[in-house]
Every structure is written in C-alpha cells, then in structure tokens.
C-alpha cells in the first residue's frame, strides 16, 4: 500500500501548489476556491526553503567569456550562479534521466513501485528520508529488486548536506555498475539535485558550472542558496586538488 498521507501530506501539498503556481496545474480540483488557495499560500510561506524554489524571473543574457576567462576556471560567485538559475526551466514530469542511467525525480515517482519496476530502477537514493519527510525505506521496496540508500536532509539553506556528498557519490558510482539509479526528494529540485551535482563533480571530474549545465539540460533543478554555497566550496576544493580546471563553459548559461 502507499505511504499514509499523514507522513507526506505537507510535502504533497507543496508540490501540487508549485505545479499550479507555475502552469495552472489541474491536480487541485478546488483551486478556484479562495480559502484553498489561501491555505496553500500560507503553507508555502511557512516553509522558508520552499519559497526559494518558486517561479523566478527570466534570466538576462550573461556576457560571453573572454579569452582570459577561458584560460583558467574560477568558481562563480553565489550571486552569479543564482542569476543564471533564475531562467525558468520546468521539471518536465516526475522523473528525468540527467546522466546515463541516473535519474532525478520527486516523491510521486518514488512511491510508484509499478513505474519503478517498468523503468528498471535498481537503486534509490532518498534525499528526503525520515519519518517527517518521504518515509519510504528499504521495506517499502521489499517486493522489488531495489537497493535503498536514505539521507535525512531538510531543504533548508542552513542544513549541512555536504557531509553526505562523498558517501552518496560513492554509492551512486557503485550503483551505476548495475543501473539504474533514482535520486529523489520531494520535488526533485533541490536536495536530490544537489547530491547528483556533487556526484558529477566528484566522480565525473566536472566543475560546478559543467555539472549544472549537464543536469539542467534535462531537468529544471534549483538547489537552495545554502546548498549552492556548499557546492561552491566543494568546487573550489576539487579545482585546487586537480590543479586548475577548464575554461568557463558557455559562461554560466544554464
């Protein structure tokens, strides 16, 4: 049976509200009811990390890289990254393949065992694990040939997700030997995306810019500001360890 709504009702309501706010989601039958809309608005306002992921203004073109900027990679500032991420890109459904055999998805795909079976998912990383988030766990998938890895993370800029970067990256890298891997959270935008970005940076030798561009070609992810700062710190450290880095790829045109 599906997970009781009491454990994920808040996450579901927020997912539905964001879909409606962006493109008139018809999954809220009473959306024209003022009290329903008000309740959803209040709920979204109460969750600080969620409001950072609402529809953003469209990006203005960034300047093209100069010859000097292409000669050596520099980790962009938080403001530069956020400015580039403000270009609205829809999530394109509940799940997307963002790297060969590596998928980012939301809570709906994580709970749809039949679709997971059809997709051939063999490993799941739940970036929103825990009783008060997406409380699936290994037992939820006991009837499927799925290995489960849970990360109890909050979509909060103050949450230290970086402590999971290397363990999750190692797990994903090993799991891709017998694909396929789904990394999910509530909306497939912030927590799960951050772990996938860290994997690409750690295991695929990408810079943060390249990782963001790679993922956003397939899914409109937007990690919160705290997670972006943690990814920047990882980027700075990896670039230093690797002795520099490549040029700016497409000048942060994400």
Residue written as token pair 């579901």: 12
Return the number of other C-beta atoms located less than 10 Å from residue 160's C-beta: 12
Catalytic residue among 91, 185, 203, 222, which? 185
For residue 210, how many C-alpha atoms fall within 13 Å in the half-sphere facing its CB? 18
Strands 95-99 and 102-105: antiparallel
User: Buried b vs exposed e over 243-254: b needs ≥16 C-beta within 10 Å?
Assistant: eebbbbbebbeb
CA angle 230, 231, 236 (to 5 degrees): 100
Indicate if 185 belongs to the active site.
Answer: yes
DSSP-H helix ranges across the chain: 5-23, 34-46, 48-51, 67-71, 78-85, 107-111, 113-119, 165-175, 191-203, 208-216, 225-241
For residue 50, how many C-alpha atoms fall within 13 Å in the half-sphere facing its CB? 22
The answer to whether the CB of 124 falls within 8 A of the CB of 176 is: no
Helix (H, G, I), strand (E, B) or coil at 254: coil
**CA gap 9, 5 in Å, rounded:** 5
Catalytic residues: 185
């Amino acid at each position: 049976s599906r997970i009781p709504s009491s454990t994920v009702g808040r996450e579901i309501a927020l997912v539905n509200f964001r879909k409606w706010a962006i493109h008139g989601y018809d999954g809220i039958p009473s959306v024209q009811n003022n009290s329903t809309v008000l309740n959803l608005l209040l709920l979204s306002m109460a969750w600080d990390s969620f409001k950072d992921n609402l529809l953003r203004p469209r990006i203005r073109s960034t300047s093209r890289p100069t010859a000097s900027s292409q000669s050596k990679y520099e980790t962009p500032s938080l403001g530069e990254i956020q400015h580039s991420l403000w270009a609205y890109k829809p999530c394109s459904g509940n799940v997307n393949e963002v790297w060969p055999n590596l998928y980012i998805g939301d809570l709906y795909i994580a709970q749809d065992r039949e679709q997971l079976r059809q997709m051939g998912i063999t490993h799941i990383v739940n970036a929103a694990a825990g009783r008060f988030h997406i409380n699936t766990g290994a037992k939820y998938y006991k009837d499927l040939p799925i290995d489960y890895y849970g990360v109890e993370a909050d979509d909060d800029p103050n949450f230290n997700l970086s402590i999971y970067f290397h363990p999750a990256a190692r797990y994903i890298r090993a799991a891709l030997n017998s694909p396929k891997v789904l990394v999910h959270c509530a909306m497939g935008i912030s927590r799960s995306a951050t772990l996938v970005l860290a994997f690409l940076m750690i295991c695929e030798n990408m810079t943060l810019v390249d990782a963001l561009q790679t993922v956003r070609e397939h899914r409109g992810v937007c990690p919160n500001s705290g997670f972006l700062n943690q990814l920047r710190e990882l980027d700075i450290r990896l670039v230093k360890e690797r002795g520099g880095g490549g040029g700016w790829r497409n000048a942060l045109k994400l």
